[in-house]
Structure 1
Amino acid sequence: MKLNCVVVDDSTIHRITIAKLANEHPDLDLVGDFSNASETRKCILNKTVDLIFLDIEMPVQSGFDLLDGLKTRPQIVFVSAKSDYALRAFDYAAIDYLHKPIKKDRFNKAVEKAIELHQMKKETPEDEGEFIFVKSNLKNLKLYIGRIKWVEALGDYIKIITEDGTHLVLSTMKAFETQLPSDNFLRVHKSFIINISKVERFNSRFAEIGSTQIPLSRNRKEDLAKAVNKASQSQ
């Protein structure tokens, strides 16, 4: 199994270096290397791309700008000479963050992560429903979206409460929210995201899921009421 990958870096030297590492890796198929977001976007729209090695600071459009314009994103490995963007990378569910100059062993470790995640997705039966992968206790954990009850912020972590148990994941709320379908989930508070279908009752202050009362931010009752009504009409 090979992953189709692209390399994006406005620095010719760094782009050639990463492309060389990709070409030498037995599990990668380099389908393109680009110096800007515009050319990269065209490639991703016209070809199957599983993995992108993406520089952040580029002229005209940054790596973040490129990703913001994609409806479906490949797996992401950010590459940068700075550590400043590492926290923001969480918001894009990046599988790794490589510092320039990139060493071969670190590059290979990032590829191993991508391959492992890609293989897990392929081996999951489609009739089990939609799912996502999260990193919990240093392992990739498969979570079925329909079984998530709510998500709670907990410092640098988030706590995901599902029908099967509770999982602690290193992530930001913003990053995890982008992985959830907006038709089914709503952020009702800076510290809470809820599964609309799990809400049993609510008022202006709380939404109840089972015996748990989840606080609603100011004016979120109306948003929740609209979401619940829309969900009920689509069933």
Structure 2
Amino acid sequence: MKLNCVVVDDSTIQRITIAKLVNEHPDLTLVGDFSNASEARNCILNKSVDLLFLDIEMPVQSGFDLLDGLKTRPQIIFVSSKSDYALKAFDYAAVDYLHKPVTKDRFNKAAQKAIDMQQLKKDGPEEEGEFIFVKSNLKNFKIFITKIRWVEAFGDYIKINTDEETHLVLSTMKSFENELPEDKFLRVHKSYIINIDKVDRFNSKFAEIGSTKIPLSRNKKEDLANALNKNQ
């Protein structure tokens, strides 16, 4: 199994360096290297890309801007000369954060994380359907989409409530909402996203999932009713 990779960096030297490391790795395939977010986005939308080596500070659009414009994201390894963005990288479920200049040993360790994660996805039981990976307590957890009941804001974190357990993840609600299928989840409040299939009943103020009452923002009752009708 080889991962199709794209390298994005406005520095020609850094881009060539990372591209060379990709080409030298037996389990990685370079499908493109770009100096800006716009060209990279076109490649990602039109080709099968598994892993993105992404610089952050670039002219016109940053690496974060590129990711915000993607509905479905490949795995991400950030490559930056600054450590200031490491915390924000967690919001994008980054596999790793490489500090320039990148050594071959450090590159290979990061690449192996992505390879292992891809293998986990491949080995996942088909009957459970789609899943995502989240980082909680310094560990990566696989969460099946169908088992998520609701997600709630929790300070700088989000709390993901599933059928079996909860996970506290460093992320924004907006970022995590982008990871979820639109036809299955609905943002019903600034602090809550719910799995439409898990709703037992609702009124003008609350949606009930089991014994939990989740507040509905104004005008969200109609959106929820429409979503439930579509899922019937």
TM-score interval for Structure 1 and Structure 2 normalised by the shorter chain: 0.7 to 0.9
Give the TM-score of the pair, scaled to structure 2.
Answer: 0.87
Give the TM-score of the pair, scaled to structure 1.
Answer: 0.86
Write out aligned runs for 1:52-71 (5 A): 52-71=52-71
Distance in structure 1 (CA, Å) of the matches to 2:71 and 2:214: 31
Look up the match of 2:181. Answer: 181
Does the C-alpha gap of structure 1 residues 217 and 84 become closer, same or farther in structure 2, counting only changes over 3 Å?
Answer: farther
Look up the match of 1:139. Answer: 139
Distance in structure 2 (CA, Å) of the matches to 1:207 and 1:45: 36
Question: Could you give the per-residue CA deviations for residues 94-118 of structure 1, whole angstroms, max 9, x where no partner exists?
Answer: 2222222223343223212211110
Question: Could you give the per-residue CA deviations for residues 115-163 of structure 1, whole angstroms, max 9, x where no partner exists?
Answer: 1110001111323222222223433322221121111222233222111
Look up the match of 1:76. Answer: 76
* Contact 1:160–1:167 (Cα < 8 Å) also in 2: yes
Look up the match of 1:205. Answer: 205
Q: Cα distance, 1:71 vs. partner?
A: 4.1
Question: Could you give the per-residue CA deviations for residues 6-29 of structure 1, whole angstroms, max 9, x where no partner exists?
Answer: 211111111122122223333222
Distance in structure 1 (CA, Å) of the matches to 2:193 and 2:91: 15
Q: Cα distance, 1:178 vs. partner?
A: 1.3
Q: Cα distance, 1:209 vs. partner?
A: 0.8
Which letter maps to 1:13?
Answer: I
Look up the match of 1:231. Answer: 231
3-state DSSP of counterpart to 2:231:
helix
Which letter maps to 2:17?
Answer: T
Following TM superposition, the consecutive aligned residue runs of length 4 or more in structure 1 with deviations greater than 6 angstroms are none
* Contact 2:3–2:51 (Cα < 8 Å) also in 1: yes
3-state DSSP of counterpart to 2:193:
strand
* Contact 1:5–1:49 (Cα < 8 Å) also in 2: yes
Question: Could you give the per-residue CA deviations for residues 151-191 of structure 1, whole angstroms, max 9, x where no partner exists?
Answer: 12222332221112223333322222111111111112222
Write out aligned runs for 1:119-138 (5 A): 119-138=119-138
Q: State how many pairs are aligned.
A: 232
Look up the match of 2:93. Answer: 93
Does the C-alpha gap of structure 1 residues 42 and 120 become closer, same or farther in structure 2, counting only changes over 3 Å?
Answer: same
* Contact 1:77–1:94 (Cα < 8 Å) also in 2: yes
Distance in structure 2 (CA, Å) of the matches to 1:28 and 1:167: 31
* Contact 1:161–1:167 (Cα < 8 Å) also in 2: yes
* Contact 2:91–2:170 (Cα < 8 Å) also in 1: no
Residue ranges of structure 2 left out of the alignment (5+ in a row): none
* Contact 2:149–2:161 (Cα < 8 Å) also in 1: yes
Distance in structure 1 (CA, Å) of the matches to 2:169 and 2:60: 34
Distance in structure 2 (CA, Å) of the matches to 1:43 and 1:134: 26
* Identity within the alignment, %: 79
Question: Could you give the per-residue CA deviations for residues 41-69 of structure 1, whole angstroms, max 9, x where no partner exists?
Answer: 34334433211111122234332343344
Q: Cα distance, 1:194 vs. partner?
A: 0.8
Residue ranges of structure 1 left out of the alignment (5+ in a row): none
